[in-house]
Amino acid sequence: MTPRSFLLLGIMSLSLGLGSCSTGGGGGGGKSMFEPSDQQINKEAEKAYADVKSKATLSTNARWNEMVQRVGTRIAKASGENFKWEVILIEGKEVNAWCMPGGKMAVYTGIMPVLQTEGALAAVMGHEVAHATKRHGREGYARAMKGQLAGLAVAVPLALAGQFWCKSQACKVATLAGAAASGFAVTFFQMKFSRGDETEADQAGQIYMAKAGYDPSEAARVWERMSKASGGKGPPEILSTHPANAHRRDNLTKWLPEAQAEYARSSDKRGIGENI
CB 222 within 8 A of CB 123: yes
* Domain range for 78: 3-18+35-265
In a domain, 25, yes or no: no
In a domain, 126, yes or no: yes
In a domain, 276, yes or no: no
Torsion sign (Cα): 135, 136, 137, 143: positive
Q: What is the largest CA-CA distance in the chain?
A: 67
In a domain, 23, yes or no: no
Rounded CA gap, 20 and 31, in Å? 6
With H, G, I as helix, E, B as strand and everything else as coil, classify residue 156.
coil
Burial class of residue 60, CB neighbours in 10 A (0-12, 13-18, 19+): exposed
In a domain, 273, yes or no: no
pLDDT at 89: 98
**pTM for this model (two decimals):** 0.73
Identify the DSSP state of 168.
S
In a domain, 26, yes or no: no
CB 208 within 8 A of CB 72: no
CA atoms within 13 A on the CB side of 82: 1
Domain total of the chain = 1
pLDDT at 218: 98
Rounded CA gap, 145 and 139, in Å? 10
pLDDT at 70: 98
In a domain, 29, yes or no: no
Crossing angle of the two packed helices 136-148 and 118-133, in degrees rounded to 10: 40
pLDDT at 253: 96
CA atoms within 13 A on the CB side of 27: 0
Active site residues: 128
CB 259 within 8 A of CB 203: no
pLDDT at 25: 36
pLDDT at 35: 64
Rounded CA gap, 201 and 179, in Å? 32
Burial class of residue 89, CB neighbours in 10 A (0-12, 13-18, 19+): buried
The β-bridge partners of 275 are 117
Alpha carbon separation from 82 to 86, 101, 276 (Å, rounded): 12, 12, 29
pLDDT at 23: 31
Mean pLDDT by 10 residues, the chain (276 residues): 38 32 36 63 79 90 98 98 97 91 93 97 97 80 51 35 42 33 27 80 98 98 90 50 79 97 97 98
In a domain, 80, yes or no: yes
User: CA 3 from chain center: how many Å?
Assistant: 18
Rounded CA gap, 194 and 205, in Å? 16
